[in-house]
Amino acid sequence: MIVERYFNKHTFADNAQGIIDELTERLHFHIDRPLFRGTIYDASRLGSIIYKGKWKGKDAALKIQGLQLPRDEYELIDGFVEQNGSARIRTPHIFKHEPWDENKGYGFLLMEYVADPPVLTLPNPSQKEIEMFLYFFTELKTRAVTRPWVGQTEHEKSSIRLMRHRVTQWVAIAKERGHFNAESLVPRIQLFNNRLEQTQPEIPMEFMHAHMAGREVHQHHESGQFIMFANLYWGWRPKYYDCAFIVWAIIKNPASPLMNEHEVLECITRWKQIFQNLSWIKNDPTFSKHFDLMMLERLIGTLIIDLEAQEYKNQADKQALYSRLVPVFDTLASQG
């Protein structure tokens, strides 16, 4: 998982401009504008940069990976392509790539640029966007992914073990950054751990795209195909983690129109009902319990670490969101 790289030695931010200059000259890639700058909870922990530009006279996107990943993203894309059971979903076309090289300090993907907007506009998607996303999501879960193409680590063989491990990592990072609110968080972490132990049998693990919030998916205007990005996040998570992730991306968004805990709870309930009506979920009696626990996992992670890493206009906005999400966590935790 990407978060495990937080404590690695980070030098990409210091050397980024030289790498950009060297690589764009070597590839004859002409930068138009930046598209994305990926960090791990801290601006100094720069992991990757993506640029839109021109390559051989056509639009292209260049992703420079400065942080070594647990798995090479090109191999993850190749793994998806080899087993893909859907003609409606694909990954971006890759023109050139190099895996991360220790001597160079980077790897890269040179790929097609997709001008079409994301399927979901967060944090307030339209009903039409939601329906289109659900169509894509059902196609992904029931047809596209036919088998896993990545093995499980020891932590990934148990949902309880994985979630405990992730919380431990978040706490360590928060303490290292000096913003661990022990008075507020310790009892809630204990409450979350108690909920984990009470969930028997434990939630099964599932292979999935573990960063699916709609903005990683674009629908090509000519072919109608859905094109998936952020393919470095393929891996093992507890079942229905991906459903909770979508809701989490909405409620923690700095631009979210949800202004109080009641509206946040209504948003969670609404999306839960939306998922529960899907053909591949509605007959699963475990969905409600497992989805609720995944929402708690997302919320405790947000309270421990995500809010400090999120970009907000001012500290008051951040504190307002923290104050909004604490009672949401408490309410969901009390329903177990």
In sequence order, what DSSP letters do the residues of 21-85 get, joined into one string?
HHHHHHHTEEEEEEEEEEESSSTTSEEEEEEEEEETTEEEEEEEE-S--SS-HHHHHHHHHHH--
Strand partners, 58: 55
Cα separation, 146 vs 83, in Å, equals: 6
Tell me if the bond preceding 201 is cis, omega within 30° of 0: yes
- Distance (Å, whole) CA 162 – CA 108: 29
> Residue 257, preceding bond cis, omega within 30 degrees?
no
pLDDT at residue 54, as a whole number: 98
Predicted pLDDT at 214: 85
| Residues of the chain above pLDDT 90, percent | 78
Fold of 2-112: Phosphorylase Kinase; domain 1 (3.30.200)
Q: Quick check: 128 and 223 in contact, CB under 8 A?
A: no
Cβ–Cβ < 8 Å for 243, 295: no
Distance between CA atoms of 102 and 116, rounded to whole angstroms? 35
Query: What pLDDT, in 10s, does the model give residues 251-301?
Result: 988 778 777 889 999 999 999 999 999 999 999 999 999 999 999 999 999
Could you tell me if 90 and 227 are in contact, meaning their C-beta atoms sit under 8 angstroms apart? yes
270's CB contacts (< 8 A; 6+ apart) are: none
For the segment 82-109, the average pLDDT, to the nearest whole number, is: 96
156 in Cβ contact with 162 (< 8 Å)? yes
Amino acid, single-letter form, for residue 130: I
Whether 21 shows a pLDDT value over 70: the answer reads: yes
The reply to whether 127-334 shares the fold of 2-112 is no
| Residue 272 half-sphere exposure toward CB, CA atoms < 13 A | 17
H helical segments located in the chain: 12-27, 73-83, 127-139, 159-177, 182-198, 241-251, 261-276, 287-301, 307-309, 315-334
Residue 227, class by beta-carbon neighbours within 10 Å (0-12 exposed, 13-18 middle, 19+ buried)? buried
Residue 1 has pLDDT above 60, yes or no: no
Task: Quickly tell me which residue has 């008075």 as its tokens.
Answer: 183
**115/251 Cα distance (integer angstroms):** 26
25-75, pLDDT tens digit by residue? 999 999 999 999 988 777 777 889 999 999 999 999 999 999 888 899 999
Q: Which of 130, 113, 132, 123 is nearest to 226 (CA)?
A: 132
Q: List, for residues 101-136, the tens digit of each pLDDT value.
A: 999 999 999 999 999 999 999 999 999 999 999 999
Sequence length of the chain is: 336
Residue type present at position 250: I
What CATH fold (topology level) applies to the domain 127-334? Aminoglycoside 3'-phosphotransferase; Chain: A, domain 2 (3.90.1200)
If one counts every other C-beta atom within 10 angstroms of the C-beta of residue 216, the result is: 18
The domains of the chain are located at 2-112, 127-334
User: pLDDT band at residue 311, thresholds of 50, 70 and 90?
Assistant: low
- pLDDT of res. 320: 83
What is the percentage of the chain residues whose pLDDT exceeds 70? 94
Max CA-CA distance within the chain?
58
CA dihedral 65, 43, 3, 164 (to 10 degrees): -170
